[in-house]
Structure 1
Amino acid sequence: MAGTGLTARATTGRRLIDLHNHVIPPFYLAENRDRIDVSLSRALLDWTPQQSIDAMDQHGVETAVLSLSTPGVWFGNAETARSTARRVNEYCVGLAGQHSGRFGLFGAIPLPDIEGSLREIEYALDVLKADGIGLLTSYGGKWLGDADYQPVLDELNRRKAVVFVHPTIPSCCRTLMPGTSPIIAEVPQDTTRTVMSLLFSGTLTRCKDIRFIFCHAGGSVPMVASRMTQYGPKDLAERLPQGVDYELKRLYYDIAVGGNRPAIAALTSLIPVHQILFGSDFPYRRLGESADGMSQLGLSEADQYAIGRDNALALLPRLKAG
């Protein structure tokens, strides 16, 4: 029963779709234990697929689309990164096969290795039938609008891919305030930096067919959107003929960790509700924080249902079959 989603439905009456749910394959944890900040959540050390399913059933999540969180797969060696991305993606597809209807996949790729990334995009989308591709906000001090990444973004645009962008903490900003965790400010700020990079480089205008999802209610994007217009490049009108707000309204944003009234009020003042998606950030955060917390956001029942399920189905119709 746990493999079909029936338990989730019977327990809560909800059929949520979680587009921000992380996988920690045992081999990945074993090989990268020293690189993973387990202080974010001790649950990372104990994660199992069944733990995910149990949490999903408890909180009414029918399907979770899995992705790898920071630090990703790139640690300086291209061959190792390529191999790790492939193993992670095949592991996730194996889970989806074992638990029908419960899991999807945003495939990992080995950026900043361009050739390896293009190969893994092809394999993940064409062979594994992944639901989209997962990226980090930055790699080695370069954000996603950097010219070096143009071949990858152009290929994702050609494929009209869904691209899930998860924040990381860039090397520039890990120790700005000694004794204070950079996750407080730098994680949401890196989402904002990469959105600015995509905007000001013209990538969002050029790659109109990518359907981007940004995490945590967009970081500080809703709060600084007007500043992007006021203080952007002098040739901003040429780069963004329809303006900053137009481009920001085309993006999707999830509510993981950003599921509080002030953040959602800021987000809904910028974009329509149909661009907002349910996400939990499990197992870094308890799934119930987002699932049970939606009722505290000041949203109508119709809007909660749209965020919890319908918006994801409009973006990823394949999930209807689950």
Structure 2
Amino acid sequence: MYQPWVLQWKTTRMPDIKFIFCHGGGVMPILLGRMQGFSGWRGVGPERMKAMFPNGVYSEFSKLYFECAQAYAPEAFSLVRKVVKPDHILFGTDYSYFNVSHAVGQFKALDIPDDLRTKIAGTMLQRFCHAGKPEVRCGLVKRSLALFTLLTRCTLALKL
């Protein structure tokens, strides 16, 4: 189960880290209102909520990134769009569990403006890779190169 304090202070103490959540954040977007309501709980209260989320739950949540593998159902994707900045939504697949074409088909079927579609799919490489090379930190060279290869494959499949 997702615990709101998992992210407490992370987005303010580490503002340069891009936290990416898979599958449209799972149930996280649905729970935002409930998390906001924690300020009324005796065990949490407004002071602790302010300490955990200085700018409010929705503001801290909007700093996160969400890839949308298996979250392309219109209802799920609509909710993600309501609570996440457009440039924080990423095209995603469940590769190697599903072919890339599965996610591409679901993504292309969404009724969204072309500029948003291009932003989500067409600029993902630029967002997380610099000068055509993957950003590598913490010695994750192999994983980063695999991600770069997958993102390139997805971009070619989307043909945007």
Q: Taking structure 2 as the reference length, what is the TM-score of the superposition?
A: 0.72
Tell me by how many angstroms 1:306 deviates. Answer: 1.2
More helix by percentage: 2
CA distance in 2, matches of 1:297, 1:222: 19
CA distance in 2, matches of 1:318, 1:263: 33
Structure 1 unaligned spans of 5+: 1-189
| Of 45, 49, 56, the match for 1:236 | 49
Q: Could you say what secondary structure the match of 1:253 adopts?
A: strand
Tell me by how many angstroms 1:281 deviates. Answer: 1.3
Structure 1 contact 198–204 (Cα < 8 Å) conserved: no
Residues 206 and 198 from structure 1, CA distance in 2 versus in 1: closer, same or farther, beyond 3 angstroms?
Answer: farther
Residues 265 and 204 from structure 1, CA distance in 2 versus in 1: closer, same or farther, beyond 3 angstroms?
Answer: same
1:198 maps onto 2:11 in alignment: no
CA distance in 1, matches of 2:97, 2:90: 18
Alignment correspondent of 2:128:
315
Tell me by how many angstroms 1:267 deviates. Answer: 0.3
Structure 1 contact 261–296 (Cα < 8 Å) conserved: no
Q: Superposed, which structure 2 residues align to 1:136-147 within 5 Å?
A: none
Residues 316 and 223 from structure 1, CA distance in 2 versus in 1: closer, same or farther, beyond 3 angstroms?
Answer: same
CA distance in 1, matches of 2:60, 2:72: 23
CA RMSD of aligned residues (A): 2.1
Q: Which runs of 4+ in 1 moved over 3 A?
A: 318-322
| Letter matched to residue 127 of structure 2 | A
Identical counterparts, % of pairs: 25
Alignment correspondent of 1:74:
none
CA distance in 2, matches of 1:209, 1:272: 17
Alignment correspondent of 2:119:
306
Instruction: Give CA deviations for 1:76-126 in whole Å, capped at 9, x if unaligned.
Output: xxxxxxxxxxxxxxxxxxxxxxxxxxxxxxxxxxxxxxxxxxxxxxxxxxx
Provide the aligned length of Structure 1 versus Structure 2: 129
1:283 maps onto 2:96 in alignment: yes
1:265 maps onto 2:78 in alignment: yes
Tell me by how many angstroms 1:316 deviates. Answer: 2.4
Tell me by how many angstroms 1:286 deviates. Answer: 2.4
CA distance in 1, matches of 2:108, 2:67: 16
Bigger Rg, structure 1 or 2? 1
Residues 320 and 297 from structure 1, CA distance in 2 versus in 1: closer, same or farther, beyond 3 angstroms?
Answer: farther
Q: Could you say what secondary structure the match of 1:222 adopts?
A: helix
Q: Could you say what secondary structure the match of 2:96 adopts?
A: coil
CA distance in 2, matches of 1:230, 1:209: 28
CA distance in 2, matches of 1:315, 1:306: 13
Alignment correspondent of 1:217:
24
Alignment correspondent of 2:87:
274
| Letter matched to residue 288 of structure 1 | S
CA distance in 2, matches of 1:283, 1:297: 22
Structure 2 unaligned spans of 5+: 135-151, 153-160
Instruction: Give CA deviations for 1:244-283 in whole Å, capped at 9, x if unaligned.
Output: 1111101100010111111110000001211111111111
Tell me by how many angstroms 1:320 deviates. Answer: 6.8
Q: Could you say what secondary structure the match of 1:211 adopts?
A: coil
Q: Taking structure 1 as the reference length, what is the TM-score of the superposition?
A: 0.37
Instruction: Give CA deviations for 1:115-163 in whole Å, capped at 9, x if unaligned.
Output: xxxxxxxxxxxxxxxxxxxxxxxxxxxxxxxxxxxxxxxxxxxxxxxxx
Alignment correspondent of 1:64:
none
Residues 310 and 241 from structure 1, CA distance in 2 versus in 1: closer, same or farther, beyond 3 angstroms?
Answer: same
Alignment correspondent of 2:107:
294
CA distance in 2, matches of 1:285, 1:197: 32
Residues 277 and 283 from structure 1, CA distance in 2 versus in 1: closer, same or farther, beyond 3 angstroms?
Answer: same
Q: Which moved more, 1:301-310 or 1:264-273?
A: 301-310
CA distance in 1, matches of 2:125, 2:27: 23
Residues 319 and 277 from structure 1, CA distance in 2 versus in 1: closer, same or farther, beyond 3 angstroms?
Answer: farther
Q: Could you say what secondary structure the match of 1:292 adopts?
A: helix
Structure 1 contact 255–276 (Cα < 8 Å) conserved: yes
